[in-house]
Amino acid sequence: MSLARRLAALPPGACARLPAAATESAQLRHAVYEAPPRDEAGRTPAATDLREALAQLGRVDVAQPPCLLDVETTGLGHDAVPFLVGLAWPRDGRVHVRQYQLDDPAGERAMWLEVLATLTREATGALVTFNGGSFDLVLVRVRLRRLGLASDDLTARIAHARLELLPRARALLRHAVPDVRLATLERRVLGLSRRDDPSGEAVARCGRAWLGGDRSASSRAAVAAARRHNEDDLLGLASLAIVLASRLAAPPDLDSALAAARVRIAQRRHDAAAALLHAALQRWPLRVGMAARLDAAVLLASLQRRAGQADSAASLLHAVVALAPDHDAAIAALAKDCEHRLARPDLALQWAQRQAPPCPRRIARLQRKLARQAAGPQAAD
């Protein structure tokens, strides 16, 4: 009987924290751990909050249960072996964590079959990672291909139905934190701290020892610490998604509003970006010397121009230049507006000459336009 059928036959909760010894006695080469609920603040994100957050952060369908994925390996290269695969998805109102621990390299194929069964049966939605496009999902593709388990459906899911939180965190939080490592974001943004958390190198080292057959007390303790680290990563990822979505919907300051608007523009939600910037500028008025406010005004002007509100955009740009006469982006935008919308190359040339440094091609083009205008009546005579 397969491990999936064994687990399905057990009563609820009977498979929690299955010890490695149990898998060995059953002649299996991997273990499955069901993480119990956590009481720790910040480590118990609600399933509904997670779904809503992921819908805000990416264009992914969250009608199906999204799946958070985090892999612990024996190294960083393509020859690294994943000895711990963690999955988390919404279930029974909370984020449920299941971990697959490889006990013998010869059992890797069987382990991945169990992982794929979960992805097909229970966690069928978008794949959510921290930096999966550069590591986790790349490794998954490599291992499945080597094991002959790659499928068109899974390949399409990895390519299209996925969401990475690192780019969102970098876009929304880089002005507020020294770096965007998950542990830093947990500490500085989520207010979480980890207890005796092993480093990445320590996790890789214990994985190599475990797969090499080391079953000493210290090795078992190290693998247990790696499982705790993996669980923290998954729950921290869920909590981070919720915080990022809240900052996207309700930025706490103008720097955050500017960052959120840029994310909305990248998502092609221009109306939402304009609404964010308009509300922010109403709350935090323009003042001389405040670069974020001026940049927000220029960005709002570009969105207004895109929406056909050219007069409002021009008024906002003039207000920026009145406060910051050398604001290059506003000056360039006014030069374009005078040239293309107002058909006033003379005014456009005046603005273009104020840029630092001036654009020779634009100035030459405007001078040609002015020359043609000047020669027009003479040619008619």
Mean pLDDT of 276-286: 84
DSSP codes, 111-171? HHHHHHHHHHHT--S-EEESSTTTTHHHHHHHHHHHTT---HHHHHHHHHSEEEHHHHHHH
Please give the structure tokens belonging to residue 65: 């249960």
* pLDDT of 19 higher than 70: no
pTM assigned to the model: 0.82
Residue positions counted in the chain: 381
Give per-residue pLDDT as tens, 71-115. 999 988 767 899 999 999 999 899 999 999 999 999 999 999 999
Give per-residue pLDDT as tens, 171-208. 999 888 999 998 899 999 998 888 889 999 999 999 99
pLDDT class of 154 with cuts at 50, 70, 90: confident
Phi then psi for residue 84, to 5 deg, are -150, 120
Rounded to a whole number of angstroms, the CA Rg of the chain reads: 28
